[in-house]
Amino acid sequence: MIKFLDLHKINERFHPEFQLKFQEFLDSGYYILGQGVQTFEEEFAKFCGTTFAIGVGNGLDAITLILKGYVALGKLQEQDEVLVPANTYIASVLAILQAGLKPVFVEPDLETYNISVSDLEQKISSKTKAILAVHLYGQLAEIDAIQNCANQNNLLIIEDAAQAHGAVYHDGRKAGNLGHAAAFSFYPSKNLGALGDGGAVTTNNEELANTIKKLRNYGTTSKYVNELVGCNSRLDEIQALFLSVKLNRLEADNDVRRKIANRYLANIKNNKIILPLYTGLASHVFHLFVVRVAQRDHFMSYTKKHLIETLNHYPVPPHKQEALIDFNHLKLPITEQIHNTIVSLPISPVMESHDVDYLINVLNAY
Ligand SMILES: *Cc1c(COP(=O)(O)O)cnc(C)c1O
């Protein structure tokens, strides 16, 4: 059986280092916002090329805290509109709602699955104040075009980089350093995954960074002094220690993902399977390798019969979910087409070479 993702195998490579870090943690007796979080924040900011990184509880909170931070700073106001790709994971949309803002769904590009800049331009109104640019499946959104659009309309650019740790833009800047602020998730299955929940915000804006540092910890400036209506969303100390270990390996792991993706792209030759568009640059870290197949259910039972586990990211778009009933009436045909046909193939830094070959053969025989 080729598992979709073998998290145990991914993390096993780090077990000896994790054990040392855990002993360090036990010895320190310091459990919340200690040296481990501070060190990881510094390392992650350096990795992304930003001045600041703030560790938070998870990816959803990272997005929410950026938006709430801008609200606290008076840069966003309740009911301001935030443009978001309609085919994203629901967390992007929930964060906008939780910050008291209004999501406006934008169609993706059918080839890259990332936000369509032409539809983006059409959806801008006088209330539009920000773009939540999601780097979906690990591929950077078209930042140059988004930036032009944002400049012309005075919009904030916030990256949802939850799937794109380490992706490099053509000008050398990394995910996390391509807008005004960026949100990361360290959910275990992400390219940089913790052994539990975790997230971070990166930014070069000192005012925003300070505000988010307060918001994540009850709005506190110093002990028992509450300046803002904050929440409790701190990156856990143990997770920060583990993440520091794994960060060292992230670029090598992303290289392996790209190598596997290139093998799929070069060798899967079946006109029933539409491969994703990939420019060949480091701007894609292949968090997921997503193909499109017209007879999706038939294809998935075929791969299952051949002991290959495939998944859908995601089977139902946010605007069709019961939780977002106010948006159920929206018509987003490209998004719906994508959701009806996409299939994610196994890809990971610990996938065996012979399994890649086997998968290619099975798919070519479909
Ligand atoms: C995983 C993910 C999130 C949410 O991260 P959590 O840590 O699970 O809260 C947000 N946006 C995208 C695109 C994601 O893939």
Is the pLDDT reported for residue 223 higher than 90? no
pLDDT for res 279? 81
Ligand 1 atom 6 nearest Cα? 59
CA of residue 151 to ligand 1 center, whole Å? 27
Q: Residue 162: what are its φ and ψ, rounded to 5°?
A: -60, -20
Cβ-in-10-Å burial (0-12, 13-18, 19+) of 321 comes to middle
Ligand 1 atom 14 nearest Cα? 162
How far apart are the C-alpha atoms of 215 and 62, rounded to whole Å?
11
Is the pLDDT reported for residue 221 higher than 90? no
**pLDDT tens track for 188-208:** 999 999 999 999 999 999 999
235 torsion bin: left (phi>0), alpha (psi -120 to 50), beta (else):
beta
| Mean pLDDT to the nearest integer, 239-244 | 98
Pocket test for ligand 1, best of 187, 191, 231 (most atoms within 8 A of CB): 187
How far apart are the C-alpha atoms of 357 and 184, rounded to whole Å?
32
Determine how β-strand 225-226 pairs with β-strand 289-292.
Answer: unpaired
Q: Residue 211: what are its φ and ψ, rounded to 5°?
A: -65, -45
| Mean pLDDT to the nearest integer, 18-36 | 96
pLDDT for res 61? 98
**pLDDT tens track for 256-299:** 999 999 999 999 999 999 999 998 788 999 999 999 999 999 99
Q: What percent of the chain has pLDDT over 70?
A: 100
Q: Residue 359: what are its φ and ψ, rounded to 5°?
A: -60, -45
Helix H or strand E encompassing 183: strand 181-185
CA of residue 161 to ligand 1 center, whole Å? 9
Is the pLDDT reported for residue 214 higher than 90? yes
pTM, two decimals, is 0.98
Residues in contact with ligand 1 (CB, 6 Å cut-off): 58-60, 88-89, 91-92, 134, 160, 162-163, 185, 187, 197, 199
Ligand 1 atom 4 nearest Cα? 59
Q: Which atom of ligand 1 is found nearest the CA of 197?
A: 7
pLDDT for res 202? 98
**Which residue, among 4, 3, 2, has the nearest Cα to 288 in the 3D structure?**
4
Is the pLDDT reported for residue 312 higher than 90? yes
CA of residue 298 to ligand 1 center, whole Å? 29
Q: What percent of the chain has pLDDT over 90?
A: 98
Q: Which atom of ligand 1 is found nearest the CA of 88?
A: 13
**pLDDT tens track for 119-158:** 999 999 999 999 999 999 999 999 999 999 999 999 999 9
pLDDT for res 222? 86
